[in-house]
Amino acid sequence: MKNTLTIAGSDTCGGAGIQADLKTFSAHGTYGMSVITAVTVQNTMGVFGCQDIDADIISAQIDAIFEDIFHVDAVKVGMVSKTETINAIADKLEKYKPNNIVIDPVMISKSGFDLLKPEAKDALIKRLLPLATVLTPNLPEAEVITGMKIDNISAMKEAAEKIHAMGAKNVFVKGGHLSDDATDILFDGNKFTILEGKRIDTKNTHGTGCTISSAIAANLANGLSVEQAVKAAKEYITTAIEHS
């Protein structure tokens, strides 16, 4: 069994964050571990508060994993709200060098709560983005990272190219915020892979971003290529939304 680690915030209702990641890791047959970066007050209706974990405790949690569990086959990084948190995580990932790092640049909740402090955006782009085996922004997050408006496939491709140039090895731009079908784009620096998806009429999408990124991480840990891992994760989350 492969070992997977999530570095992210906690979700009170269990549908997103650490809780969603651990459930997804288990569903993919991997052993899930966690480093908690923040404790949030949230449910399916929104995020109502957040308390960050001190950076030294985050660093110590990561050390506790890597100094004991020598084979961490994939790491998923989710909610990282402060510059100090980002620097602590980046320092440890650079030290331990896990093979597969999936970074979900969580910035704003669906209810409009700032999960990434605005002043920490540059740190995320400069410190964490270049460490990503796969970066998984949705359209609003890709807009913040690139500074461009993204509302169609052509703009998604341009954004993916810009983000790849910032250092991410593979960029998976999620199109759930498009007005028509939920089409996603994967860019590996040379090739675009278009992942078409039908629009599912449901409001039950809490935690889908967390879930798909942790599914990608688990698939990479299990030996799939990046393209295979992303395609399988999209199938997994589509089924989850259909049966939400």
Q: How many residues does the chain have?
A: 244
Using CA atoms, how far apart are residues 42 and 199, in angstroms rounded to an integer?
A: 26
* Structure tokens, 31: 């052993």
Strand, helix or coil at 81? coil
Active site residues: 174, 205, 207-210
Q: What does residue 8 show for φ and ψ, rounded to 5 degrees?
A: -165, 180
Q: Could you tell me which of 61, 75, 55 has the C-alpha nearest to residue 5?
A: 75
Q: How confident is the model at residue 241 (pLDDT cuts 50, 70, 90)?
A: low
For the chain, how many helices (H) and strands (E)? 8, 9
Whether 214 and 199 have beta carbons less than 8 Å apart is answered as no
Asked whether residue 240 carries a pLDDT value surpassing 90, the answer given is no
- 179-201: pLDDT as tens digits: 567 789 999 999 999 998 665 54
Per-residue pLDDT, averaged over 50-69, amounts to 96
pTM of this structure: 0.91
